[in-house]
Amino acid sequence: MGFADKIKQFSVDVPEQLDGAAKKITIDFFSGVIRDTPVDTGRLRGNWQCTIGEAASGELDVTDEQGQETTNRMVQTVNAAPRDFVAYLTNNLAYAAAAEFGLWKDKDGKPANGARTISGYSTQAPFGMVGLNVSRINHFIKQAVAEMKKP
């Protein structure tokens, strides 16, 4: 392969590799959010909606205690996305913010402490869901870059 052919191949390979890395980072990040969502009935976990181009509106009438169906839907959506995509992971349930930010209240309006809450946070997700995975984003990026470097 001549020099010009190598440059041409490079111009094809690099965007494909970057697109693959972007999809892997997105899938890893969104999977973490879904996995870290606290579960009672599975409704909160099942209401994560992955969309491309604009955020989802409305709620889903689904429960997904394990998160596998929700994760599978998300992976399919991300893998089908065009190059230079913008992906959204949205949960429109009213109590999603309470789970993320520790806003569960007791009957007196104080941060709830009980069998499922500590100072307003779910015992299953005391550091939230999204914020926790935002703190992991550099790890997801490093993993994707390392995989790009593999022959």
* Positions of E strands within the chain: 49-52, 87-90, 117-118, 121-122
pLDDT above 90 for 110: no
> What is the C-alpha to C-alpha distance for residues 12 and 26, in angstroms, rounded to an integer?
22
Residue 70: the pLDDT is 99
Helix (H, G, I), strand (E, B) or coil at 87: strand
Residues 27-55 have pLDDT tens digits of 999 999 999 999 999 999 999 999 999 99
- Beta-carbon contacts of residue 140 (< 8 Å; ≥ 6 apart): 24, 25, 28, 29, 32
pLDDT number for residue 7:
67
What is the pLDDT at residue 23? 97
Q: At a CB cut-off of 8 Å and minimum separation 6, what does 28 contact?
A: 140, 143, 144
Which residue has 């993993």 as its token pair?
Answer: 143
What is the mean predicted confidence (pLDDT) over 118-123? 85
> Which band of pLDDT confidence, cut at 50, 70 and 90, is reported for residue 148?
confident
pLDDT at 150: 76
Write down the residue that tokens 């590799």 correspond to.
Answer: 17
Backbone angles phi, psi at 87, to 5 degrees: -105, 145
> Please, which pLDDT band fits residue 11 given cuts at 50, 70 and 90?
low
Q: What is the pLDDT of residue 78?
A: 99
Q: Does 22 have pLDDT greater than 90?
A: yes
Helix ranges (H only) for 2-54 are 3-35, 43-46
Residues 95, 102 contacting (CB under 8 angstroms): no
